[in-house]
Amino acid sequence: MLQGTASSVGKSLLTAALCRILHEDGYRVAPFKAQNMALNAAVTSTGGEIGRAQAVQAEAACIAPTVEMNPILLKPEGAMRSHVVILGRSAGSMTWNEYQNMRAALIRTVDDCIAKLRAAFDVVVIEGAGSPAEINLRSQDLVNMHVAAAAEAPVLLIGDIDRGGVFAHLAGTLELLMPEERARIAGLVINKFRGDAALLKAGLDYLESRYQLPVLGVVPFLERLRIAEEDSVALEGRRTVPSSQGAAELQIAIVRLPGISNYDDFSALEHEPGVVVSYVEGEQAIRRADLVIVPGSKSTMRDLAWLRRLGLDRPIRERAEAGWLTLGICGGCQMLGERIEDPEGVESEQRATDGLGILPLTIHFERAKRTAQVRATVDSASFIGVRSGAGEVNGYEIHMGRTIAATGAASPFRIISRNGQPCDAPDGALSPNHATVGTMLHGIFENDGVRAALLSSLRKRKGLPEPEGPLVASRDAEYARLAAVVRASLDIAAVKRMSGIA
């Protein structure tokens, strides 16, 4: 099990790395995280919703993700509530106290899932959450030391040196653990180091001497890694730099909504040569961008109100009406529509509101939630689909309610299957001037054809030539790169011995 001194210390990526390393070494390996709090989600082949991090870790292990790998997903909604997903299905919106009333049943679910994975795989690599030393939450824990005890798993404690204070973080965590909890710690890992590891020797020697625990490795900071991160902490100050030499050619601005979700939709764009992707909250950044993207949101109506409060609705609408390219994905697509109706109060106490009026869409929220892996085709030519019927597009849906296009409105995609079942359904809409596209599909830019169509459209509008740079590395190649770096910097033989497989 991998636990950390805090959130965002790299537990998710190191779990993915160990999953790939153990797979490369011939083991059947699966990831597990009992409870994930994140707005980045994924959909399994059966339509179950789990944390994106566990789907990434399963992909690194070359297996299909299942709901047992992340039995509990909490999606924060604000106002001290979270949308609770249990075994892939919505259990409703709850306060913390309401959630805690389910604790006994949740523990049984977690323990059952661990047992199923242990029976099906040679190794289960478990990820913790936050810190095991959150002493105010010790009695309510079902994701850190409870899981370590239930799985009888040795624990690697991860510290992030990039933000500073790593020795205090590791020592403080160990000091705050109960004796029986500290006994489960089998080794320490320093993550995200930039520089010569020899400079750390005095600190590493101190930790090993004081706590009688081995430091199993110092893992370097990996630049431009194309693997989805778990939570929006990763977006702090996020701005990509062009991967080719010279000045950036294209500027893509993604509106950083308070409830932004599934921002890994844009990971492939961030790695394209000559492209800068920025997460923005300012009017001028929106006005000067070649493309503005309004991304997915956990709380569409609340984030739409935020847009208006900051005055960002005006530049988005004005540039779209002037023919500058704009894209809305899922919640962003809903915001760009004409009207949002919520008669049952699914999202908020507000029963209806006007959208930005750019797309000919009406959104009607319902309690039923759609989660599906989808296949689609290009339905109407647009700046993300060069011609009707061109190739298949893979993606996924996670949204509440129905998005209803006006009669005669063009759609960018036509869905031909959901969770393997054939269907025939239009997706999203195009604006009358075709400068704005709205889609409910996540993951579209993992399709090379869609990404190429978008960037070609942007370059054509600016009179720029197509680049001769390398293609974006595949996710599989990125897992291999991550695994190679971690294998070289972590004592994998010791990890195997601790796990009882060597």
- Report how far residue 280's alpha carbon sits from residue 271's, in angstroms, rounded to the nearest whole number: 18
DSSP letters, 450-501, are HHHHHHHHHHHHHTPPPP-SPPPPPHHHHHHHHHHHHHHHB-HHHHHHHHT-
Q: How far is CA 415 from the centre of its chain?
A: 23
Question: What domains appear along the chain, each with residue ranges and CATH number?
Answer: 2-226+477-499 (3.40.50.300), 232-470 (3.40.50.880)
CB neighbour class for 353 (10 Å; exposed up to 12, middle 13-18, buried from 19): middle
Backbone angles phi, psi at 14, to 5 degrees: -70, -35
Q: Among this protein's residues, is 442 annotated catalytic?
A: yes
In eight-state DSSP terms, residue 335 is H
Of 23, 83, 169, 442, the catalytic one is: 442
* Cβ-count burial 237-265 (b if 16+ within 10 Å, e if not): eeebebbbeeebbbbbbbbbbebbbbbbb
Of 19, 113, 330, 333, the catalytic one is: 330
The answer to whether the CB of 72 falls within 8 A of the CB of 35 is yes
Q: Among this protein's residues, is 330 annotated catalytic?
A: yes
The answer to whether the CB of 371 falls within 8 A of the CB of 398 is yes
Tens of pLDDT, residue by residue, the chain (502 residues): 999 999 999 999 999 999 999 999 999 999 999 999 999 999 999 999 999 999 999 999 999 999 999 999 999 987 788 999 999 999 999 999 999 999 999 999 999 999 999 999 999 999 999 999 999 988 889 999 999 999 999 999 999 999 899 999 999 999 999 999 999 999 999 999 999 989 999 999 999 999 999 999 999 999 888 887 665 555 555 555 444 444 468 999 999 999 999 999 999 999 898 899 999 999 999 999 999 999 999 899 999 999 999 999 999 999 999 999 999 999 999 999 999 999 988 887 888 999 999 999 999 998 888 999 999 999 998 999 865 445 789 999 999 888 999 999 999 999 999 999 999 999 999 999 999 999 999 999 999 889 989 999 999 999 998 877 666 888 999 999 999 999 999 999 999 999 999 8
Instruction: For CA atoms 393, 38, 317, 252, give the dihedral sign.
Output: negative
Which tokens is 352 given?
A: 């209806």
